[in-house]
Every structure is written in structure tokens, then in C-alpha cells.
Amino acid sequence: MTDARPGYGSPSVSSIGVPMVEARRVQKSYGRLEVLKGIDMTVGRGEVLCLIGPSGSGKSTFLRCINHLEKIDGGELAVDGDLVGYRQGGDKLYELKDNEVCAKRAEIGMVFQRFNLFPHMSVLDNVTSGPVWVKKAPGGPSKDRARELLARVGLADKVANYPNQLSGGQQQRVAIARALAMDPKLMLFDEPTSALDPELVGDVLDVMRDLARDGMTMIVVTHEMGFAREVGDTVVFMDGGVVVEQGDPTEVLTNPQHERTKSFLAKVL
């Protein structure tokens, strides 16, 4: 799906028609434990795909494979038409060098369950760290951009604070602003609200709704079924390392076809 909305995910001429993420028979094992057993999945530009399923189903592992925090053991995985972690030369695959992997990873924002902010740095410095350290961007413009992003996530008055002076919800919103400061083409969210007190969840989800409205391509591992139904373009239910069911959020969440999906939703809805 090509996105025509302003803000994010505007495709270049060469990339029109190319999915933002495409997985074909993706496999991942840890020793004898097979975590991903042949995942096929396509995410279009500007699409919000929500991954749901029980703990241990492979959702977070798949997310980490997309930005090469984990190396796949089989299949193919591509972001914006480029193989993740590899380049193709003729009929052979060559593993990318570490600096090449880091350059590709910098194009993908990731927000974790835990906020992973630098505790010794102010909120403003946390958000500018990526552009300044990774992209070698000038400090002045990077700070201006950081202030804009912090205002966008409702934290314009917290630029001088340190992480331990913020609530969990505020820290997570700083983490989102930090990811956005890198101008990513894709955002990955790994259960971004699971570590938050219930009353703090709404502020984080509001920021994510705003990103979706602006056309950011997002893959969200979540247990927030209301968010998945409202914001998601596609819901994928995973269990045991495979895709069990996928489709329109309303259809999957209210009229699941697979017995395993029905059993899972009966417990969480």
C-alpha cells in the first residue's frame, strides 16, 4: 500500500510499490528451540500492523529480526526493498559489515517495553543523542528538532529533567521522541505500554495514534486490543512461532476463524 498522507513514509520513485517490510519463510532458533517457524508477512507503506499473541509466541523475536538485533537462520527479510543484514551479489548473499548494519538500523526506530533512556543525561540530550552521535548531525539543529518532538509528545516543559524525575509514561514518550529524532522510515514498538501503570497507558497510545494519522509505518507488538482495533490496518495473531491468523482488525478480533485465536481472545477481551 503506498501512502499518500503527508509527514512520513513518502516513497521515492524507485520504491513505489515495494513493501516497507516483507518476510518470507523467516526462521529463527536458539539452539534446539525453534522460535520462528517460517513467518510470511508483508507491511505496506503507511500501514499499522499489530502483532498479538501469547507470551513466547515469537512476536518480539520477529520484531528484533527486522532491525537485525537478531540474525535470522532461514528465509528472507527485507525492509524498503533491501535485505536485512545482507546484500545480494549475483546469486550469492554477502553479510553486511557492522557499520553497514548500524547505518541500516538507524533508519528504523524501535521502542522497547523498558524505556532504555540514558539516566545521566537530560531529556533533551537523550533525544539528541542519536542524531549527534550516529548521524554526526550539528548539535544546534538537533536540539531544535528535539524540542519540536518533545512538544509533540506533550513534554515541552521537561527538556531539562532527567529520566528519574519522570513517570513511566513520560519516559516512554521521551523514548518515542528519541526514536523519531532519527527520522525513521519505520517504527517498531515492542509492547510499549506493558510496563506502565494503567492510568499512564493512554498518553503513550495517543502519541502512537498521532503517528499513525501522519502516515508512519508501524509494527506494534501489543496486548492493547482496543488500540489494535482502532488504529491497526492489519492484525496478525501469532502462536508457537507461526502466523495463525491475520486480517482486518475488526474481523480478526470479533470474528476469529481459528480455534486458537478464539481461545486467546476469550481470555484477553
Cβ-proximal residues to 238 (8 Å cutoff; 6+ apart), any chain: 39, 51, 52, 53, 57, 58, 59, 62, 244
Distance in angstroms (rounded) separating the CA atoms of residues 186 and 177: 14
Percent of the chain with pLDDT over 70: 94
Instruction: Tell which residue, 186, 214, 230, 177, has the closest CA to residue 43.
Output: 186
Convert the pLDDT of each residue in 199-211 to its tens digit: 889 999 999 999 9
Residue 85 bridge partners (DSSP): none
Cell 533525544 maps to which residue? Answer: 127
Q: What pLDDT is recorded for position 195? A: 87
Convert the pLDDT of each residue in 111-141 to its tens digit: 998 888 999 999 999 999 999 998 898 989 9
Instruction: Tell which residue, 10, 78, 6, has the closest CA to residue 45.
Output: 10
DSSP 256: -
Mean pLDDT of 134-158: 94
Q: What pLDDT is recorded for position 1? A: 33
Q: What pLDDT is recorded for position 15? A: 58
Convert the pLDDT of each residue in 164-200 to its tens digit: 999 999 999 999 999 999 999 999 999 999 989 888 8
Q: What are phi and psi of 234, to 5 degrees?
A: -140, 140
Convert the pLDDT of each residue in 95-109 to its tens digit: 899 989 988 999 999
* Average pLDDT value over all residues in the chain: 91
Residue 245 bridge partners (DSSP): 237
Question: H or E element: which one contains 260?
Answer: helix 259-268
Convert the pLDDT of each residue in 28-51 to its tens digit: 999 999 999 999 999 999 999 999
More confident residue, 1 or 189: 189
Instruction: Tell which residue, 162, 164, 134, 130, has the closest CA to residue 146.
Output: 130
Q: What are phi and psi of 194, to 5 degrees?
A: -70, -25
Look at strands 218-221 and 48-52 and give their pairing. Answer: parallel
Looking at the predicted structure, is the pLDDT value of residue 13 above 60? no
Q: What pLDDT is recorded for position 16? A: 63
Cell 550539528 maps to which residue? Answer: 138
Looking at the predicted structure, is the pLDDT value of residue 69 above 70? yes
